[in-house]
Amino acid sequence: MSTDQPPSGQPPEEDPFLKRPQEPPPPSGGQPPPSGPPPEGPPPGDPYGSGSSGGSPYGPSGGSPYGSSGGSPYDGGGMPPPPSSPYGGGGYGGSDPLSGMPPLAESGRRIIARVIDWLIIAVPLGIIGIPFGIYRRATEDSFGSGEGVGFQLLTIVAFVAYDTVMTARTGQTVGKKVMKLRVAMLNDGATPPMNQSLLRAVVLWVPALICCACLWPLLLLILILVDKPYKQGLHDKAAKTVVVAVPQ
């Protein structure tokens, strides 16, 4: 084994921990930097110079994001188009409340949906009323008795609660789900909140269940058929809602 030592002050050539000085990177193009004093005036490409070769980022020829040739997001040429609605037209809340909403429901489908909802509530109530002799008392003109009033209140609560809860949850009762319909707020297409759903259900059911069993549904139907452009019955106008078709 050799005992030769490297000269003092110099690390061995193969020392792996030696940090060698970094060479300055060559200029682009492979040419050495020119010698002598720097030229007068701003260098080429100075973003604040007035020369045409550099181009100011704030000038019209420098590709400025705010210049007319750079496609400003605030001028007419660079403005991105608004996001398209899945239902066509603009977004909710435009000048037309129906802009961006699904099409309004057909009147025939609304009638079928209402009949389905009525049967869902009326059939169980009819079964409940049989043991209490509700229908026998009604034929004897004694429906104003305590049993008759109690059953009438139960009927009102059942219809109003059913329509309110179902509408506030998804905008759909069972009948509307079957017929592919939905209740929506006129201003933005959202599902009606609980207070609007309750108001809508009260106007829809209470008059018919108290005194106008035939006249009130007929009046609502006529208004739906003739109302333009939203096909709103009195219950829709009170709650500011519309009934729309569910997209397939």
pLDDT digits (tens, 9 = 90+) for 14-61: 444 334 455 555 555 555 555 656 556 555 555 454 444 444 444 444
Q: Is residue 20 part of a domain?
A: no
Q: Is 75 within the bounds of a domain?
A: no
Give the span between the Cα atoms of 153 and 148, in whole angstroms: 9
4 Cβ contact partners less than 8 Å away, ≥ 6 residues apart:
none
Residue 96 falls inside a structural domain? no
Is position 214 within any domain?
yes
Question: Would you state the pLDDT for residue 41?
Answer: 55
Q: Is residue 225 situated within a structural domain? A: yes
Report the predicted TM-score, pTM, of the whole model to 2 decimal places.
0.59
Q: Which two tokens stand for residue 21?
A: 């000085």
Q: In the chain, which stretches have pLDDT less than 70?
A: 1-96, 132-147
β-sheet bridge partners, residue 185 = 241
Of 197, 173, 31, 152, the C-alpha closest to 110 is 173
Q: How many domains does the chain have?
A: 1
Residue 32 domain-assigned (yes or no): no
Locate 197 and state its tokens.
């759903």
150 within domain boundaries: yes
Q: Residue 40: what pLDDT?
A: 60
Distance, CA of 50 to chain centre: 50
pLDDT of residue 103: 92
CA distance linking residue 99 with residue 85, whole number of Å: 9
Residue with tokens 């939203």, as numbered in its chain: 230
Q: Is residue 22 part of a domain?
A: no
Helix (H) or strand (E) segment spanning residue 243 = strand 241-245
- Residue range(s) defining the domain that contains residue 190: 107-245
